[in-house]
Each structure stands twice: as structure tokens, then as C-alpha cells.
Amino acid sequence: MDALTDTYMTDTTQEKPADMIMTARNVDVFYGKKQAINNVSLDIPKGSITALIGPSGCGKSTFLRCLNRMNDRIDICKVSGDIRYAGQDIYAPKVDPVALRARIGMVFQKPNPFPKSIFENVAYGPKIHGLATSKSDMADRVETALKQAGLFDEVSDRLDEPGTSLSGGQQQRLCIARAIAVQPDVILMDEPCSALDPIATAVVEELMDSMRDDYTIAIVTHSMQQAARISQKTAFFHLGELIEYGDTTQIFTNPKETRTQSYISGRIG
Amino acid sequence: MTDLITSEPAAMPADWTVRSPHRIKRARAETRFRLYGIVAIGIAVAFLASMLLTIFIGGAGAFTTSKIGLDVTFNEQVIDPSGARDPASFRGVNYRPLITGALAEVFPDVEGRQDTRALYKLISTGAVYQLENMVTENPDIIGTTQRVWVSAGTDTNLYLAGKIDPDMPQELRQLTERETGWIETLKSAGHVKTDINTSFFTNGDSREPEQAGILGALMGSFFSLIVCFVIAFPLGVLTAVYLEEFARKNRLTDFIEVNINNLAAVPSIVFGLLGLAIFLNVFNLPRSTPLVGGMVLALMTLPTIIIASRAALRAVPPSVREAAYGLGASKVQTTFHHTVPLAMPGMLTGTIIGMAQALGETAPLLMIGMVAFIVDVPTSVVDTATSLPVQIFLWADNPEIGFREMTSAAIIVLLIFLVLMNLLAVILRKKLERRW
């Protein structure tokens, strides 16, 4: 615990505290009686990609889902601790999780476009939040989001076609465009490339890198290579605990913890 | 790679072709099982075919009827003695003399009260209403003589359809030798023709088979189903949506779920008793009406709709819900923008199957009095009415021979509607199903 706090403290001294868009302190998560997350404290710096790595069942996805209160949907899931977004406690009673998720978007493991047209897929978020002022404004928003997701050139002539008719990689980029269209600050990605082939993965990774200027991204990934390629910060989870958190280069080249060392060298996992 | 293609195919492993006892046994078991399946299907199809054949052969006769052509003189003295031509006065006039007069022209030698009455019985008792309608619609025919095709009487119809065995002893059959002789005379004089039985589709029930029709029962069923749908569909779907999407899983919802499943298995007559006790005796709703019938059928259909709708909602992949939540959609938005539209085909299928069940339901309707003899065709949900299956029950219960084929004909109509409803379910499912 102390070591972790120290890590955190050194991190904040290196960067300005204001740059931390999300902060988590002493987070515990229980599924019924089973503890999935044990006392995790972690900060996500603004405008960067933070990767959460670790073996299956280590709680990294659970932790990610705490950041936009997706776990609220599960009745037996209890979250305690302090998670803040832009300094605000997101688990405070007056916080509306629906509004929160509009600021902190999410992209899922399996591409899950709605069974509607490509246009409607992207337009859905702005529509329910009342962002668009007119039909042409909506069209602009959809186009901008698709362009940011690098998908517009591929689908510009068939926006009316079902989103599910796209290839897997395109579908995932559509899901990213859909998340972008709501103009969130943070985008949480839960293994966004695990269902994609290497070429589509490379495209999505490139996209994530280009999004770094406008959005803060937290990504759960099984692939250590991916984490090493795209992220600036890496957190290593094991058995529900945060073992080590630091700059990606430091984690992969000079891990402080032996367990981190074992994992990245393939000895546990 | 190329080596593999150009080289000779390798010899087949020796044991591939060996017919060991084990393999022979296994192959036989497979053949035998396939045979069982074919036999089972064959028997089922044979039963179904024989049932349908019996019904269609038995009911085909009801769709045609015999008409008797009479040269009726519309005598002004009988219809409008005052000469005022007041349409209201045409109603309630005794038109029977017109028919007996026309018959007397064909059979001049039949005299005496008893004989003329016997002769008049050859014609349907509904003929006088036909004349009354003709006069009311067109008073100008008064004073003229017209050939009018009137329905044949019940027994005449049976005789002309070959349903009365002329070899039977006179005392046992419906028509005497003399009466069949009259019919033959009419027939040879060209006064008899076979026509499509339109009154079967345009009339309500009647004591006389040749005047009885299915329309009253059909409309009764239609109004009942409308009421049933209007109540059961929204109630069932919203219940399913709440239980599946909103309710917390706890003991109470478990208890509710168990009870809904139990309700689906409750005999329908119990729902009828409930309707009798609550809707009629407590709320004093009008007895024998499609309103109450539909309410009872709705109670009966609700569990089916709820169970089918919940299954349809459960079949919607959770990833769709997650995607919507991830975008900041609220629970209601997620449910009604995504989950319910995707589940709608399944919900509609369940509803239509439930409605088809309701269409064929008899027992609960007996309890709330939709079993009465009702001649008028209902025009609203609060008119007294019967329904198709109840009408079949009533006609099957009727000792008169003429109703025998009416029963089969009504069954045919009911079956056609059931097939149509199930077809609609299939079409809707195909059409609304996720197209991508």
C-alpha cells in the first residue's frame, strides 16, 4: 500500500496534478462476497493512453468499468473507494451515471454496432443527448466523428447501409466513431482489438494514437506488445491488485516488481 | 503443394472399408432410427389428413344451397291495402299468402288447409322476409309478378342434397312420398337451382339451418379478439419488459415468475369462472358480450404473451444494451430504442400464437354467457354475441340434421382463420426479423 502511494506521489510530482483527469483511491469491488478488486489506487493523466494489463481474471476490466459506472448495471456488484473525474466524486449520490457516461465513453471487446444504419449508429449518441441543433448539424457531427475514426472515406457512399455489414475492424472503428460523436473527455476501451485480425488491429492502434490529442484513453489489453506500442502509462494488475503502475517504457524495460517482471517475460499469465 | 496435387492419390487406409460387426450394427441403428421418424411423421400426417378430409367432405355441402323459383304476384291487396305506399307499413305484413299463391299456381290440385301447409313447408320460413325486403327496397314491384328465388325449406334442402334416403320407410323420414313428389315436380319444371349459400356468410344464427349463418359468430370472435389484443398485448409486453429489464432479481420477482408460468397452465375454464365472478358479478359488465369475452381471453393469453416476450427480450444480445449504456443512454432509452424493437418480432409471434389460442377457446366463454342463441350480428363489443368455437359447439349440439354440415362448415371457417393467423405470425417474424 505504502509503496503504491509512493509510486503515485512520485508520479504526481513529475507531472502537474491538474493533468490527472481521473483519479482512483483505495477502490474495492465485490461481486457478492467475492472480491474482484482489492485496494487499487491509480491516476489517469489527461491526453494520454493508459494501458491496463494483466492475466485473465485479474480485475482490469472490472476496474475499467468502475470508471464510468458500467458496473452499476450488475446488481451484485459493489464498488467502494473514491473515484474522481475532473475532481468530482463520480459515485456521489447526486451524480447521474447516465450523464457521466456521456463524458466517459466506452468501446467494447466485441464490435457491437446497433443493427441500424451506419449513420444512425453514429447519430444515436448526439441524438439522445440533444447535441445536434439541426439535421445538417447532425450530419456534420456524424461526418466529423467518422473522419476522426478514420472510417469516413470507406463508408461515405453507404451511410444508409447497416453498421453490421462492415468488416470486423470497420465495425470497431464505427463503435469508436459512435463513442467520439458524443464528444467525451475519456474513452474507455475494453480489449478493443481482441476480436480483430492483425491488420485491422494496426489500423485501430494508429487511430488510438491519433486520438490522443483530443481524448484521454484507458485501454484494457491482453497483448503486452499492444500496450508497449501505444500507451504512455501502463498498469499491471494481478489477482485484483494493482501491482505496478508507471511509464510504459519503465514497466517494460525496468519493472520494479518481480511479478511484473515475470508477467511481461511470460512466466505468469 | 504442387507435389501433392500431381502425385497419385494415396491408397485408402485398409480399415476404412472394413465392415466390422460394430460398424454394421451402428449403420443399422441409424437406418432404423430414420425409419422410426418417417413412420411417426407418416402416422401424424395420416391422422391430420383424415381429420381434414372428414371435415371438408362433411362441410362442403353447407357452402351451397337449393333455391326454389316462384312466380310471386305482389298483390297490392295483401301488401298495401290502403295504397299509401308507406314503407313502414310494408313491415309486419303477412307475406305468406303471396308464397302460397305462387305455389298454388304450380300445384293447382293441392287444396285444403293441411295440404297447403305441407306444401308451404317446402319453402324456407325465411322466404317471407325475403319478399318483405324486396318490397321495402323497391315498392314499384307491387302489383307485378316476378320470378323470385327463395331458399328451400330445411327438409327440401336435405332431399335435394341427397341427404334423405328415399328408400327409408315413410314414417321414419322427414318428407312423405307426396312431398318428395312435389319436389320432383318443381325440379322437372325448372323451379329448382343450386346456388352458393351466401346466407351462411351474411346471417347470424337461426333455428332453421338454411337461414343460419356464421357471420354473427365471426363478428363475435373478431370483437373478442380485438378486446383481447388491446388489453393483453400492451399489458403483456410491458410486464415482460419490466420483469426482464428493470426489476431486480429477488424473491418477489422469482415468485411472480413462477406464478406467471403456473397461470399459463391453468385450465381456461377457470379463467371463465373468474370472469363470471369478477367482471359480471362484481363489475356488472354486460353479460354475453365480446367485451367480457375479450377480457377473459386476455387473462388467458397474458401468460403466453409474457413468457414469449421475456424469451424474446432475453434473446437480444447484451452487447446491444452495453453499447447503448456506454453512450450514456438511460435505461428507458436503451430499452425502448434498442432492446424492445429487436425483441418485437418474437413478442408479436408470441402474441399471435396466444391470440390464435384465444380464437379457438370455448370453455371460458361458456362461463360468461357467450353461449346464448343470438340471431343478430353484433356490431360492437357490447352487443350480445357468440364466438366461432361456441357456435360450432351449439350447432354440433343441435339435433337437426341440417346443422350437421353447418358444424363442419363452421369448423372449416375456424381452421382457415387459425391458419391465416399463424401465417401472419410467420410473415411478421420474417419481415421484422433483424435484416442484418
| Closest chain A residue by Cα to residue B330 | A98
Main-chain phi, psi angles of B211, to 5 degrees? -100, -10
CA angle A120/A192/A211 to nearest 5° reads 75
Among B18, B41, B60, the domain-final residue is B60
What one-letter code names the amino acid at B185? T
Residues of A at the B interface, defined by Cβ within 8 angstroms: 68, 70, 73, 75, 98-102, 105-108, 110, 112-115, 124-125, 128-129, 162, 164-165, 175, 178-179, 182
C-beta atoms of B328 and A128 within 8 A: yes
DSSP state of A163: G
Q: Which amino acid is at A104?
A: I
CA distances from A264 to A82, A222, A243, A268 (A): 29, 11, 12, 8
Task: Report the domain count for chain B.
Answer: 3
Question: What is the span of the domain harbouring residue A172?
Answer: 2-264
Q: Would the CB atoms of B249 and A75 count as touching at under 8 Å?
A: yes
Sheet of strand A49-53, all strands in order from the earlier edge strand to the far edge: A104-107, A186-190, A216-220, A49-53, A233-238, A241-247
Taking the C-alpha atoms of residue B289 and residue B7, their distance in angstroms, rounded to an integer, is 84
B330 to chain A, closest Cα gap in Å: 6
Q: Per mean pLDDT, which range of A48-52, B96-100, B128-132, B432-436 is the poorest?
A: B432-436
Q: Give helix then strand counts, H and E, for chain B.
A: 20, 3
Q: Is B315 exposed, middle or buried (0-12, 13-18, 19+ CB in 10 A)?
A: exposed
Find the residue in A nearest to B247 (Cα): A75
Which chain B residues are closer than 8 Å to A162 by Cβ?
435-436
Residues B67 and B56 in one domain: no
Would you say residue B165 lies in a domain? yes
Cβ within 8 Å, pair A108-B322: yes
For the cut 80, the answer to whether the pLDDT of residue B392 exceeds it is yes
* Nearest-by-Cβ selection for B436 from A70, A100, A115: A115
Does the residue A49 lie in any domain? yes
Q: What is the DSSP string of A75-137?
A: TTEEEEEEEEETTEETTSTT--HHHHHHHEEEE-SS----SSBHHHHHHHHHHHTT--SSHHH
What is the distance in angstroms between the Cα of B248 and the nearest Cα belonging to chain A? 7
Chain B residues whose beta carbon lies within 8 Å of the beta carbon of residue A129 = 328
| Cell output for A209 | 494514437
User: Residue A195 domain-assigned?
Assistant: yes
Q: Is A36 helix (H, G, I), strand (E, B) or coil?
A: strand
Q: Domain check: are B309 and B221 in the same one?
A: yes
Q: Are A27 and A81 in contact (CB under 8 A)?
A: yes
| Domain assignment present for A269 | no
**Which residues fall within 8 angstroms of residue B208, CB to CB, at 6 or more apart?**
B124, B125, B126, B154, B402
Q: Is the ipTM of this complex over 0.90?
A: no
- For B69, B140, B141, B244, the CA distances from B136, given in Å and listed in that order, are 20, 9, 10, 61
Taking an 8 Å cut-off on Cβ atoms, the answer to whether B327 and A182 are in contact is: yes
Which tens digit of pLDDT belongs to each residue from B121-134? 888 888 888 888 88
Q: Which domain holds residue B52?
A: 27-60
Contact B86, B106 (CB under 8 A): no
Q: What is the mean pLDDT of residues B260-265?
A: 92
- Report percent pLDDT > 70 for chain B: 97
d(C-alpha B436, C-alpha B433), whole Å: 9
A36: which residues sit within 8 A by CB, 6+ positions away? A29, A30, A59, A62, A240
Predicted pLDDT at B338: 92
- Sign of the alpha-carbon dihedral angle for A97, A102, A104, A106: positive
Contact B326 A70 (CB under 8 A): yes
Name residues of chain A where pLDDT drops below 70. Answer: 1-18, 268-269
pLDDT at B84 over 90: no
Does B337 contact A112 at a Cβ distance shorter than 8 Å?
A: no
Q: Do B320 and A68 touch (CB under 8 A)?
A: no
How many interface pairs between A and B have CB atoms less than 8 angstroms apart? 69
Q: For residue B307, give how far its alpha carbon lies from the nearest alpha carbon of chain A (Å).
A: 23
The DSSP-derived string for B341-391 is HHHHHHHHHHHHHHHHHHHT--HHHHHTTTTS---SPP-STTS----HHHH
Can you give the CATH number for the domain in which A63 is found? 3.40.50.300
Q: What are phi and psi of A148, to 5 degrees?
A: -60, -35
The whole-chain average pLDDT of chain B stands at 88
Residues B257 and B373 in one domain: yes
Which residues of chain B have a CB within 8 Å of the CB of A108? 319, 322-323, 326
pLDDT 10s digits, B199-216: 889 888 988 888 889 999
Contacts for A261 with CB less than 8 Å, ≥ 6 apart: A255
Residues B229/B293, Cβ–Cβ less than 8 Å: no
Q: Are B49 and B70 found together in one domain? A: no
CA distance A14 to chain B (A): 33
Chain A interface disruption, residue of B320, B325, B327, most A CBs within 10 A: B327
Please state the domain count of chain A: 1
Output the pLDDT for position B46.
Answer: 97
Domain check: are B148 and B175 in the same one? yes
Residue B349 falls inside a structural domain? yes
| For range B80-108, the mean pLDDT | 83
Tell me the per-residue pLDDT of B323-340, one tens digit each, with 9 for 90 and over: 999 998 999 999 999 999
pLDDT of residue B435: 54
User: Which of A117, A124, A141 to mutate against chain B (most B CBs within 10 Å)?
Assistant: A124
Tell which B residues from 231 to 270 touch A, by Cβ distance under 8 Å. 248-249
Claim to verify: residue B127 and residue B149 sit in the same structural domain: yes
Task: Give Rg (Cα) of chain A.
Answer: 18
Of the CA atoms within 13 Å of residue B185, those in its CB half-sphere come to 16
Q: Residue B39: count other Cβ atoms within 10 Å of its Cβ.
A: 10
Nearest CB neighbour to B326, from listed A101, A110, A165? A101
Instruction: Say whether both B35 and B72 belong to one domain.
Output: no
Confidence of residue B259 (pLDDT cuts 50, 70, 90): very high
Angstroms from A238 CA to nearest CA on chain B: 26
Instruction: Answer yes or no: do B434 and A115 touch at CB < 8 A.
Output: yes
